[in-house]
Structure 1
Amino acid sequence: MATGQKLLSFLLLQLILVLLVSDLSNAEGLKLGYYYKTCPKAESIIRKTTYRFISRAPTLAAPLLRMHFHDCFVRGCDGSVLLNSTKNSQSEKAAIPNLSLRGFHVIDAVKSAVEEACPGVVSCADIVALVARDSVSMIYGPFWEVPLGRRDGRVSLLSEAFANLPSPFANITTLKQMFAVKGLSLKDLAVLSGGHTIGTSHCNAFTNRLYNFTGKGDTDPSMDPNYIVKLKQKCKPADTTTLVEMDPGSFKTFDEDYFTLVDKRRGLFQSDAALLNDEETKAYVILQSSTHGATFGKDFAESMVKMGRVGVLTGHQGEIRKHCAVVN
């Protein structure tokens, strides 16, 4: 029996190594200036079209950044989050964590503009990565070079979204595991959580912390009680529609305020508060809070490039979708 278990453990380890090597080798297929010859104006078209939307509605930047994150954490950065459900299968879009995603119309407009210039060349997965970068930089966040060459996946499953997307209710142990599986470090976890410096959340993603934390009608002791009082004024126990700013006062601007809030025990989600429960992530929060985000912009750019390489399809894998919501 012991021998059988050892063999099984060995085979599982081999499988994990094969998958990691495969992911890494695919990521090597990405490169800067990938469309230089096949669609030289691709990046400028994408930036110009994105600006049309962000200049009118800067609050779209947060969901467009979140879309890239949600894409990469399920099946890798392959545009699977964009696919509509079919008669036979519910897609990632239908999963509860994705029901609040917005900005699909921006991706569609960008895709149409790129298709007009270079039909069948630029993938939806690359568009999602570039739109996320451009949206962030347009609201005073960092700019980073995006290695390109991702291909679009043909599979999108609701069940995989549930299994792979970190929950706002997650503790630090779960978050560490979920990021490690994607090849992302503890520092990446802290840095990418900083994306919560922009955007809003529905009350039901955190009201358990205000009204019924352990099932006894209590509050979350890890949250500043004065902040709880303020949040209770906005959110009643069964409220599922009210939106609350994740970074009150500057939720439209990409800055380091998020870390100051978390340091003061005013992070909105349990997953935000969880950053204080690990020495490394806590140290990062305190560093950015005490130095006005001295390295946050540079760190965020680096972590986004790293995340953008997770599980990509390259070469002859997948396809280049004509329309981002349906496979060819």
Structure 2
Amino acid sequence: MLHLQLSINTCVKLVIFQGCDGSVLLDDTITLQGEKSATPNVDSLKGFEIIDSIKNKVESDCPGVVSCADILAIAARDSTVLVGGPDWEMYLGRKDSKTASYELANSNLPVPSEGILPIITKFLYQGLSVTDMVALSGSHTIGVARCQNYRARIYDQSTASESYLNDLRASCPAAGGDDDTVAPMDNVTPNLFDNSYYQILLRGEGLLNSDQEMYSSFLGVQTKQLVLQYAHDPLAFFHQFAQSMVAMGNITNAVDGGEVRRSCRFVNT
């Protein structure tokens, strides 16, 4: 499951500012500050060693050909299929970034407490539509969130049922609890890629504020209609998710030319 969460949510989350270029996989070095320790990423993304293992196998059979960015994109698709989600054809031939940006990761990635308009703006900046944003957010049907990222919401809202809130509050107290306690973002079918994530939003039980805003915010007229559509029509969600993943995966980093890294954690020397 760590593999799946990294594959789907990393590619969705970290393409937003620079392209699907594998920059998030880079470790800190003396000359490069990576993105793993940026606020939206630290203690959130897991499973990098899975990508390392895949890369090592590919390099042993076919050195210098398959980029880490392509491996991440393929893993996202295949992981989605393995847990019941849609399949899609994708462009391959991405290059790996030779740079990373800690600053842009902090400023341009959506965060759990954010409102609907800033998140829409961040997607539009990359050429992704509101429809893409709502569909790609459906990747939260798989994966978990840390107590630190939903604590404020579960103690400052009344839209969800008391039983749901009480269960979350028991493991994530208002003070003195473990910030790293996790809860599934889809509390109905957390290990299945389906449309129950959107059905949860209709009940006001989105775990993250940024998710629930798509349905509950008075500013989210278009996003609310899309949430309703995907909650009632899983095929429409699957179709759009596949299209949006292709669109997102085609965003490239034109800044540094790129390379095919020998190790996903370090640029070539």
TM-score by length of 1: 0.76
What amino acid is aligned across from residue 182 of structure 1 in structure 2? Q
Question: What are the Cα deviations for residues 53-109 of structure 1, in whole angstroms up to 9, with x where unaligned?
Answer: xxxxx3531222112123312311111000001124421011122222112111111
What amino acid is aligned across from residue 231 of structure 1 in structure 2? L
For 1:224 and 1:307, the matched residues in 2 are separated by 35
What amino acid is aligned across from residue 296 of structure 1 in structure 2? F
Q: CA RMSD in A?
A: 1.8
Is residue 280 of structure 1 aligned with residue 222 of structure 2? yes
Is residue 132 of structure 1 aligned with residue 73 of structure 2? no
For 2:171 and 2:30, the matched residues in 1 are separated by 40
1:266 pairs with 205, 209, 215, which one? 205
- Residue of structure 2 equivalent to 1:325: 265
- Residue of structure 2 equivalent to 1:170: 114
The answer for unaligned runs of 5 or more in structure 1 is 1-57, 212-218
What amino acid is aligned across from residue 100 of structure 2 in structure 1? S
Answer yes or no: is the 8 Å Cα contact 2:40–2:110 preserved in 1: no
SS at structure 2 position matched to 1:92: coil
- Residue of structure 2 equivalent to 1:103: 47
Written as runs of structure 1 = structure 2, the 5 A alignment for 1:62-211 is 62-99=5-42, 100-211=44-155
For 2:253 and 2:93, the matched residues in 1 are separated by 9
For 2:3 and 2:171, the matched residues in 1 are separated by 22
What is the identity percentage for the equivalent residue pairs of Structure 1 and Structure 2?
A: 38
For 2:64 and 2:57, the matched residues in 1 are separated by 12
**Greater CA drift, 255-264 or 82-91:** 82-91
Total equivalences in the alignment: 262
1:251 pairs with 183, 190, 200, which one? 190
**Greater CA drift, 185-194 or 89-98:** 89-98
If asked which structure has higher relative contact order (CA below 8 Å, sep 6+), I would say: 2
For 2:51 and 2:11, the matched residues in 1 are separated by 11
Q: CA deviation at 1:133?
A: 0.7
Q: CA deviation at 1:193?
A: 0.9
What amino acid is aligned across from residue 246 of structure 1 in structure 2? M
- Residue of structure 2 equivalent to 1:305: 246
TM-score by length of 2: 0.92
What amino acid is aligned across from residue 234 of structure 1 in structure 2? S
For 2:204 and 2:194, the matched residues in 1 are separated by 18
For 1:275 and 1:202, the matched residues in 2 are separated by 20
The answer for unaligned runs of 5 or more in structure 2 is none
Structure of greater Rg: 1
